[in-house]
Amino acid sequence: MPNSTWLEVVTCAIFGIMDHGAGHKDVSHKDIEPVVRTPWGAVRGRQEGEVLAFKGIPFAVAPSGESRFLPPMTLDPWGGVLDAVNFGPIAPQPAPIPAMSIAGDPVDWNEDCLFLNIWTPSLDGAKRPVMVWIHGGGFSTGSSGQVLYRGGRLAMRGDVVVVTINYRLGSFGFLAHPELRATWPAGHAGKYYCGNWGLMDQIAALHFVRDAVAGFGGDPSNVTIFGESAGGMSVAALLVCEEARGLFHKAIIESGPPSSISLDLAANRAARIGEIVGVDTPSGFRERLGGIRADEIIKADQQLGFEVTGEGAMPLAFLPVVDGGLFGTSLADLITSGETARVPLLIGTNRDETALFSAGEILGGGLEEEKVVHRISKILEEDTAGRVVERYGKIRATRGEGVSPVDIWTAVSTDYVFRLPSIEVASAHMLNGLPAYVYLFDWETSFMGTSLGSCHALEIPFVFGSIEEPVVQPFAGSGPEADDLSMAMQRAWVAFAHSGDPSCEEVGEWPAYGADRPTMILGRERRVDYDPRGEELQVWEDVGLRPSAGYHR
């Protein structure tokens, strides 16, 4: 396979479009056109291999024109039979670099983007578990139709119904300003919402699933939401969102720490977007910004993204907003205080998450230790940052792991941004009497000489079985060990969807999280480890950033 193809896979990831997948070979289509009747009208799908696929089903009114920067509105019934055989347009977003666009992924965007896709083993009326996937991409890129997220393999192997959803991104999905306040949904008179339009889209999609999935062979009383990165953050947000209560019954968070920003900060960023496109705030902000061309807003989003790079540990231009409507305080505070849906939780991270974002520095010759200390000093005092770097170096040297500055930065930033918050979520869930299951993914990519390790998003093709796509294999891996890991993860994920417990023959008994920190290691071997990499967690506890007291043995 040409080296340029391998580079496309990783470079797309570095620029936040990893989840666009890599090359796709369509499975055979049989001459079967299944039709399902929904409360809004009939949809016609297509048989793909051993499953039935329905693509591009609308679940809300197009959020364009006067509907821009407003909550999603309920669909009116459509007449006749809707052909659901092609993916719908993706949400407005920056285009992938032309030389790196991936065959098979939908790339045409439109503000009319609120579509979902369904894969089901059969329309036999059986009540199968439903798994609803929320894609990642930093709340700025991605779509439900990407090759890595095609749900046919998971549906077939797990006897589940798989749903993937679009939601608004960038300014269209998360621009927040007091001038954009709106009421939603019916029955919440006097309650105002602002900025979390993309999250409201996700809730609207879950309403559609609740009301229509039985016709696709799914059980609306057994819905699991799962997502990675921004999709995992979305799952964390939905866990504490009153408006989403009862719409799902289990949750899986992959590399998605609960993250949110204040309305004040969001409003400042909205004002900056307005400034870039030539719209002042506050008076008439909605009307005037609503008249700006979508491509101009996308360019403004990109500029804002460049400007916030380096601001703290989560330099994303758009995040869920503490708007006083969906959320009254930060997501992390809501979760640790126990304000969550009382559902089973599966949560985990990859061992070397941020190696993906350091790939440019790896290729460019590394990173100076002083720069590592400077970066960490943005979250800790400078002398404390130096001690953290020193202790991480000693811990890793004892294990025989890399201790270069980029190795240390990857380890520290991975723990601070991803692993510590995820462990905190699991601990809070456990302390509130709810079952939580924790994993640590440590399969290494061999691309770039293993320097990316177990990087961000690497687990996705194992969960969906898309490691079988040949062009993904140079990045994700291939061979019997990769196949075994993928099958084990698929079995565990669907076991959790079926019963709320990921234990299965392929991974063995998976104990619920507790004070001794049982964690399923998912890699070349599957095993339960107690307090894995606990020395690093102790470093953070010693500097005052620690998981809750429930962690201590």
- Three-state DSSP at 477 gives coil
Residue 229: active-site member: yes
Give the pair of three-digit tokens for residue 338: 């126990």
Residue in 140, 143, 144, 229 annotated catalytic: 229
Q: Which one of 254, 353, 424, 444 is the catalytic residue?
A: 353
In whole angstroms, give the CA distance from residue 196 to residue 178. 12
| Under 8 Å between Cβ of 114 and 60 | yes
Element (H, E) at 193: strand 192-193
Catalytic one of 20, 249, 456, 498: 456
Report how far Cα 419 is from the mean position of its chain's Cα atoms. Answer: 15
* Bridge partners of residue 262, in order along the sequence: 322
Q: Which residues pair with 224 in a beta bridge?
A: 131, 250
Is 525 catalytic? The answer is no
CA–CA dist 367, 403 (Å, integer): 12
Q: Is 242 exposed, middle or buried (0-12, 13-18, 19+ CB in 10 A)?
A: middle
Backbone Cα Rg of the chain: 22
Look up 456 and say whether it is catalytic. yes
Secondary structure tally for the chain: helices H, strands E: 18, 18
For 49-147, strand residue ranges (E) read: 51-58, 81-83, 115-120, 128-134
Q: Give the integer Cα–Cα distance in Å for 286 and 178.
A: 10
Return the exposure string of 200-223: e unless at least 16 CB atoms fall within 10 Å of the residue's CB, then b.
bbbbbbbbbbbebbbbbbbbbebb
Q: Report the residue count for the chain.
A: 553
Q: Which residues pair with 192 in a beta bridge?
A: 183
The set of catalytic residues is 229, 353, 456
